[in-house]
Amino acid sequence: MRTVYVNGEFLPEDQARISIFDRGFLFADGVYEVTSVLGGKLVDFPGHAARLTRSLDALDMRSPVPEEDLLAIHRDLIARNGIEDGLVYLQVTRGAADRDFLYPPDDTPPTLVLFTQAKPGLADNPLARTGMSVITIPDRRWGRRDIKTVQLLYPSMGKMMARAEGADDAWMVEDGHVTEGTSNNAYIVKDGTIVTRQLGEEILHGITRRAVLGFAREAQMRVEERPFTVEEARAADEAFITSASSFVTPVVRIDGTAVGDGTPGPVAARLREIYMEESRKAAI
C-alpha cells in the first residue's frame, strides 16, 4: 500500500482523509502539479514549484508550505514508496469551508495532498517508438488554461472521445487553431522549423515545453511560437507532444491522416534524446 501525504502527515493511502467541504471537491477550487521521477530523482522540480506559485498567486490562494519543505515532502514520499520511475502528484486547495461561492476567510488553512504513482518503464513508453494518434476536438475549457487548476472534466471527456475513435489522445482546437493536447503541449515540424503555440491564457505553460524549446534553440533548431491550424498540422513533416509524463512523444496520425510518412520523425526523436539525457542529469 502506498504512503501518501495529507496536511502534514504521511499515512497509508486508506487512512488519508479530507473534508467533504473541501473547496477542491465542491468547486474545483484547487491547483496541482505532476512532476516525473527518473532513477528516484525529480525532473525539473524548480520549474514545477515556480508554476505552482504562479497558479496559487493567480487565484489569491495561500501557499501551504515553503518551497524547501515541498521539496523535502516530495523526496520523502519517493523514498517511502521506493519510486524509481514514476510521478509525484501534488494538489493544493483553498481548504474546507461551509459551501459558499465567496472565498472563505484568509486564515482558512489550505489543503495539501501529495501521492506517488510508480510507472516502471516511464522513460521507454512504446509510444515513443511507434508514435501516437490524435483526433481533434473543439476546445471547450474555460479561458484561464494557464492556471493549472484541477478542473479536468473536459480533458477527461476529450481522452474518452479519443478512445472511442481508437486514437491515443485529442488535440483541442479554437478558432481553427490548435491550442494544446488534453494533457500536453502540441507541436508540428515543417521544413525543419518547430512550431508551437505561443504562451498566453489559452494554454498551460508546460514545464517540459520550456525545457524542450530551450534545448532546441541551443541545438540551433528553428522555433516559431505561433498558433497553427489543423490543416497545417496534417500537412506537417512531423508532430509531437510534450509533458512531464510523456516527455517528448511523436504524433504520427491526426484525425486518421498520416503525418509525414506516418512514422516518428528525426526532430522529435532528437529532442526526446536530448531532453531525457539532460533531465536525468539535472534531476534532484
Q: Is residue 29 at the binding interface for ligand PDD, with CB under 6 A as the rule?
A: no
Residues from 127 through 146 that contact ligand PDD (CB under 6 A): none
Residues involved in catalysis: 148
CB 197 within 8 A of CB 179: yes
**In terms of CB distance, is 244 or 251 closer to ligand PDD?**
244
**In terms of CB distance, is 99 or 226 closer to ligand PDD?**
226
**In terms of CB distance, is 37 or 96 closer to ligand PDD?**
37
Q: Please tell me the distance from the alpha carbon of residue 125 to that of residue 132, in angstroms, as a whole number.
A: 11
DSSP string for residues in 102-155: SPPPTTSPPEEEEEEEE-TTGGG-HHHHH-EEEEEEE--S-S-TTS-BS--HHH
- Region binding ligand PDD by CB under 6 A among candidate stretches 67-75, 201-209, 214-222, 250-258: 201-209
Find, among 101, 42, 97, 67, the residue nearest to 244 by Cα: 42
- Region binding ligand PDD by CB under 6 A among candidate stretches 63-71, 116-124, 160-168, 200-208: 200-208
Residue 133 burial (CB count, 10 A)? 22
- Region binding ligand PDD by CB under 6 A among candidate stretches 6-14, 94-102, 207-215, 256-264: 207-215
Q: Is residue 184 at the binding interface for ligand PDD, with CB under 6 A as the rule?
A: yes
Cβ burial, residue 251 (10 Å; 0-12/13-18/19+): buried
Q: Which of 169, 180, 202, 238 binds ligand PDD (CB under 6 A)?
A: 180
Q: Cell for 76?
A: 520523502
CB 102 within 8 A of CB 94: no
Q: Which of 242, 251, 267, 274 binds ligand PDD (CB under 6 A)?
A: 242
Largest CA distance in the chain: 58
Residues from 243 through 282 that contact ligand PDD (CB under 6 A): 243-245
**In terms of CB distance, is 18 or 34 closer to ligand PDD?**
34
Q: Please tell me the distance from the alpha carbon of residue 58 to that of residue 60, in angstroms, as a whole number.
A: 6
Q: Which of 3, 136, 185, 196 binds ligand PDD (CB under 6 A)?
A: 185
Q: Which of 24, 206, 250, 264 binds ligand PDD (CB under 6 A)?
A: 206
**In terms of CB distance, is 81 or 182 closer to ligand PDD?**
182
- Region binding ligand PDD by CB under 6 A among candidate stretches 92-100, 112-120, 160-168, 177-185: 177-185
Find, among 32, 30, 39, 43, the residue nearest to 82 by Cα: 39
CB 182 within 8 A of CB 132: no
Q: Which of 34, 97, 157, 161 binds ligand PDD (CB under 6 A)?
A: 34
**In terms of CB distance, is 54 or 75 closer to ligand PDD?**
54
Cβ burial, residue 92 (10 Å; 0-12/13-18/19+): buried
Task: Give the Cα-Cα-Cα angle 127, 128, 129 (nearest 5 degrees).
Answer: 90
Residues from 53 through 92 that contact ligand PDD (CB under 6 A): none
Residues that bind ligand PDD (CB under 6 A): 34, 180, 183-185, 204, 206-209, 242-245
